[in-house]
Amino acid sequence: MRNTYLWLLQLITGILIAVLLGVHMVLMHLDAILGFFGVDATKITSWESMIERSNQGIWAGLYIALLAVVLYHALNGLRNVILELTPSVRTERVVTRVIVAFGIVTFVFCSYVPIALLSA
Amino acid sequence: MDKNNLITFKVQRYDPEHDRIPHFQEFMVPSGKCLTVLEGLLYIKENLDSSLAFRASCRMAICGSCGILINNYPNLACHTQIEEFHSDTLTVKPLPNLPIIKDLVVDLIPFFNTHKSIKPYILRQDAEEMEKPTAEYAQPPRALETLLQFTHCIKCGICISACPTSASDRLFLGPQALSQCYRYCTDNRDEGEKERFPMVDTDHGVWHCHLAGACSEACPKGVDPALAIQLLKRRLVSRAVALGKKQQPSSTVPSPAETKPKLPFPGFTVK
Ligand code: SF4
Ligand code: FES
């Protein structure tokens, strides 16, 4: 059932991206929605406000979670596309390993930023 | 056939022993009412060029041998009327996504092997009953209805030739095998899910279907393989997350104690 679980995860990460990216978009780019709820958007995007949020574990967690789900969703999708064009089990193994390694390195490298900002 | 009403058959020819690449050859075929593409091909074979290779047998959309590409649309030659196209030229090619043996004949062996790989027969735990049956396994009409349309598959390979995933992924199991996997897994007499699921839950299995639906549109027998694939996906997910109730395989039913008397054999009408 390995492929069924991989596909289910693809579905779940898709929904999570919509939610987490939605939060990010509303907060950083969609001033009108924030204004509707009576929040001053200029304050939220200011440097002080950003540093204040970066010190909170919940925001760091949110961005690390967004990074993880985007990486899984994008790289699993890319792997599926490449596997469709590589009719050899050996090539498939290489493709899977390269993609998994790329995903892990990118995750470690990029999640360093919100973790470092926690103590900024 | 109406000798005055001629139609041009542009037929793709390819003999691997002599040709490097396929080429087209034109034949003028007398056309008439209710003439099928297969009859046109038979006319060419009998009157114009006996070396033309194509497959056919039943001439009534039952055997599945005469699948070809007619005016770039895959169909059974015996099931397609020439008149349908309202054109005086017909382009005839072998089915795509399958290796060509000669002219319009494609190699169906890999296709049949894929079909066999999903074990298209009833699998049961009660091996003794399977070996030496004492009675029939019960199947209520409602259980039959859930799979009936998928039993109409004649293994013609037309869905494979219409499928865009089969075109790009040579290892893709294809709509025919996947729909037959669902057909047997959903059969209330069957217990073979555990043996079949590993065959379809692969990198080139059920999850690679793009849901283009071309297979269902092309199938000449009205089977809906795209639907079967979606239902198979649902079945796999419900097993993976342990949701949905798993039916017990049906038990045997004793033969009826009384059977209707046989009808008398009719007398000979010709003495
Ligand atoms: S599903 Fe339809 S098109 Fe495909 S092999 Fe069966 S009869 Fe032919
Ligand atoms: S000849 Fe049998 S299906 Fe056409």
DSSP code, position A38: T
Which chain B residues are Cβ-neighbours of A4 within 8 angstroms? 201, 207, 236-237, 239-240
In angstroms, rounded to a whole number, what is the distance separating the alpha carbons of residues B250 and B229? Answer: 24
Facing residue for B203 by CB, picked from A1, A4, A92: A92
Let me know the angle formed at the C-alpha of B225 by B219 and B230, rounded to the nearest 5 degrees: 155
What pTM did the predictor assign? 0.86
Give me the number of domains chain B comprises. 2
Please check whether residue B67 lies inside any domain of the structure: yes
Please check whether residue B254 lies inside any domain of the structure: no
Please check whether residue B196 lies inside any domain of the structure: yes
Does the distance separating the beta carbons of B239 and A1 come in below 8 Å? Answer: yes
Q: Do B164 and B215 fall into the same domain?
A: yes
The tens-digit pLDDT sequence of chain B (271 residues) is: 555 689 999 999 999 889 999 999 999 999 887 899 999 999 999 999 999 999 999 999 999 999 999 999 999 999 999 999 989 999 999 999 999 999 999 999 999 999 999 999 999 888 888 888 888 888 889 999 999 999 999 999 999 999 999 999 989 999 999 999 999 999 999 999 999 999 999 989 999 999 999 999 999 999 999 999 999 999 999 999 988 777 777 777 777 677 777 777 778 877 6
Q: Do B168 and B46 fall into the same domain?
A: no
Name the closest ligand to CA B154: 1
Q: Provide the pLDDT for residue B271.
A: 66
In angstroms, rounded to a whole number, what is the distance separating the alpha carbons of residues B1 and A101? Answer: 68
Name the closest ligand to CA B215: 1
Q: Provide the pLDDT for residue B214.
A: 96
Do the beta carbons of residue B219 and residue B159 sit within 8 Å? yes
A81 interfacial to chain B (CB closer than 8 Å) = no
CATH code: domain of residue A29: 1.20.1300
ipTM summary value = 0.80
| b/e code A46-72 from CB counts within 10 Å (16+ = b) | eeeeeeebbeeeebbebbbebbbbbbb
Give me the number of domains chain A comprises. 1
Cα torsion B250, B252, B257, B262: sign: positive
Per-residue tokens: B182 = 């669902």
Q: Do B15 and B64 fall into the same domain?
A: yes
Q: Which residue has the tokens 């070996």?
A: B131
Extract the residue ranges of chain A whose pLDDT is less than 50.
none
The 10 Å Cβ neighbour count of residue B49 is 13
Domain of residue A114, residue span: 2-119
A7 interfacial to chain B (CB closer than 8 Å) = yes
Cα torsion B11, B14, B15, B18: sign: positive
Q: Provide the pLDDT for residue B109.
A: 96
Q: Coil, helix or strand for B250? A: coil
Q: B78 CB under 6 A from ligand 1?
A: no
End position of a domain, from candidates B106, B131, B162: B106
Domain of residue B197, residue span: 109-248
Question: Can you list the pairs that B238-243 forms with residues at least 24 positions away whose Cβ atoms lie under 8 Å?
Answer: B239/A1, B239/A4, B239/B193, B239/B197, B240/A1, B240/A4, B240/A5, B240/A8, B241/A8
A83 interfacial to chain B (CB closer than 8 Å) = yes
Q: Provide the pLDDT for residue B48.
A: 96
CATH code: domain of residue B97: 3.10.20.30
CA B55 to ligand 2 centroid distance, Å: 8
Q: Provide the pLDDT for residue B4.
A: 65
Q: Provide the pLDDT for residue A81.
A: 92
Q: Exposed/middle/buried for B146, CB within 10 Å: 0-12, 13-18, 19+?
A: middle
Q: Do B27 and B95 fall into the same domain?
A: yes
